[in-house]
Chain A
Amino acid sequence: SQQGEEDPQALSIQEGENATMNCSYKTSINNLQWYRQNSGRGLVHLILIRSNEREKHSGRLRVTLDTSKKSSSLLITASRAADTASYFCATDVRTDKLIFGTGTRLQVFP
């Protein structure tokens, strides 16, 4: 069964604006992670938030986690054209395998 679903599927914004992506999942988790994939490249790990954490910051990234709603959000502030990529959330339950969502395609226009 699919664990993560991202919303929206696609997002287009202007440079300098903020981008918010949401992720929902179905079962209890240990950790939730966000990854970025630039076109034609591999997945780059952005940030990990543990199930007992509610918010985490890393540079221009802010991640929130609401385990009661089984959802997470990724906020990118002051976006740049270089942020154009697909963003995926991934959860791990009790095993090592990550379960990914379908991703959000972010387009940042200069």
Chain B
Amino acid sequence: EAGVTQFPSHSVIEKGQTVTLRCDPISGHDNLYWYRRVMGKEIKFLLHFVKESKQDESGMPNNRFLAERTGGTYSTLKVQPAELEDSGVYFCASSRLAYEQYFGPGTRLTVT
């Protein structure tokens, strides 16, 4: 069974540019989560999809971040415009059961 995949693995962009991160969950997993780890701090929850619906987006930092999951399969997280403090590692996870989350390798975002 293929695991959670994320693309790209690393992205370097300039402040003010736009970046779109993609996550492909494990097939059959209705739950999809985004987390991020900024500046070596703790990993923080961003949002949770159940199929294509946003179940909880309480962790989204501001309106520069937009997450979508059209069709309930893969998800994208767009940052527009990117700021320096957005640099970090963005993790995606999926699950069939709520607490058994399987994480992808993460996308390292560097904003210069």
Binding site for B on A (CB under 8 A): 2, 4, 30-31, 33, 35, 40-45, 48, 88, 90, 92, 95-103
Contacts and interface: CB of A to CB of B under 8 A. Distances in A.
Contact of A96 (B44, B56, B102, B104): B56
Contacts of B43: 43, 88, 90, 100, 103
Contacts of A102: 41-42
Given A42-B91, A42-B104, A96 B99 contact: yes
B42 A43 contact: no
A85 to B, nearest CB: 13
B100 interface: yes
Contacts, number: 64
Interface of B: 4, 6, 31, 33, 35, 41-45, 48, 55-56, 58-59, 91, 93, 95, 98-106
A45 B101 contact: yes
Residue among A48, A101, A102 with the highest chain B CB neighbour number at 10 A? A102
A100 B91 CA distance: 13
Given A42-B91, A42-B106, A43-B91, A98 B45 contact: yes
B68 to A, nearest CB: 19
Nearest to A103: B42
B103 A44 contact: yes
Closest A-B pairs by Cβ, 4 of them: A43-B103, A100-B43, A42-B105, A97-B45
A3 B98 CA distance: 18
